[in-house]
Amino acid sequence: MKISNLLKKTPLKRFMKSVPVVAVIPLHGVIASGGGKLRGENLNLLGLAQVINDAFEVKGVKAVALSINSPGGSPVQSSLIAKRIRQLADEKEIPVYAFAEDVMASGGYWLGLCADEIYADENSIVGSIGVISAGFGFTGLMEKLGVDRRTYSAGENKAKLDPFSPEKESDVEWLKKLQIEIHENFKNFVKTRRGDRLKKRKDKELFSGDVWTGPRAAELGLIDGISDLRSFMRDKYGDKVKFHLLAGRRSWIQKTLGLGTQSIAADAVEAVIDASKNEAAWSRYGL
């Protein structure tokens, strides 16, 4: 039989086996707003929106994998990123899997919660379901240097928690109330996404802000098991599965508005500030 006649009788699909594709989104770094030239490693919706959208548009995509290595950061950006991923996953009916590397803690774990299943390495650090605020007070130093702080404002609450003024008990109470509200939102999201997988009557331990290695996190129900991205996907979709890695890039609005094109001096100052903040975030987990 001629090939041409065979093709007429047999659908071409039978001669072409589609290779499953997994889109991989790397979520590595501190979660924070902004997106300047030296803030490229920060995770935020502005910088990730197009990458997330592209992941669900990859031709032949069977699943989206999140490679997470983050100590956390902004609860707002964590929530926005997780919501965007979840929205697209539901709209496209494409499963999402999260894989922890060194750290998936605090906001990093918040990101992982948007996935249908979460996995980690035996040595990954997982958890930190809590809220923290940290800063410095310079009143003693200013007094030694003979510097006066002069603040003028309209509105009695505009100068709350000013690091150059003595700390007020009322300001601390106000901050703690905000933290409690955000903590409750975090806990509710954990309960909603993990559901019956969470171990019963473990609320006090789960939401204490503590962290655990992979096996203990699995025991508590915070993750679904111990595995890595490549091994898991090869087991699920076969050895021929292809991985489509999506790298972060500046969004159209950033390019159009010229965001991230600061002066060298401004970049240098920003780099020092970012480095100190990021180092502090990672150091909480001994990294």
User: Rg for the chain (alpha carbons), in Å?
Assistant: 23
Class of domain 20-128+210-283: alpha beta
Closest CA to 132 of 66, 209, 27, 196: 209
> DSSP class of residue 96?
E
Is-contact 228 121, C-beta < 8 A? yes
Q: Is 76 exposed, middle or buried (0-12, 13-18, 19+ CB in 10 A)?
A: middle
Per-domain residue ranges of the chain: 20-128+210-283
56-60, 96-100, 262-266, range with the lowest pLDDT:
262-266
Is-contact 116 83, C-beta < 8 A? no
The predicted-structure confidence for 209-218, as pLDDT tens digits, reads as follows 889 999 999 9
DSSP secondary structure string for all residues of 27-72 = EES-B-S---GGGTTSB-HHHHHHHHHHHTTSTTEEEEEEEEEE--
The predicted-structure confidence for 188-202, as pLDDT tens digits, reads as follows 999 999 999 998 766
User: What's the mean pLDDT when you consider all of the chain?
Assistant: 78
> DSSP class of residue 209?
S
- Give the model's pLDDT for residue 41: 72
**Whole-prediction pTM:** 0.74
Closest CA to 230 of 245, 215, 216: 245
DSSP secondary structure string for all residues of 210-276 = -EEEHHHHHHHTSSSEE--HHHHHHHHH-TT-EEEE------HHHHHHTTT---HHHHHHHHHHHHH
Contacts of residue 51, defined as CB under 8 A and 6 or more positions apart, other chains included, come to 25, 246, 247, 248, 249
* 18 against 67, higher pLDDT: 67
Of the chain, the end-to-end C-alpha distance in Å amounts to: 66
Which structure tokens are listed for 278? 């990021």
* 92 against 171, higher pLDDT: 92
Please count the residues of the chain: 287
- Give the model's pLDDT for residue 217: 95
- Give the model's pLDDT for residue 285: 57
* 194 against 278, higher pLDDT: 194
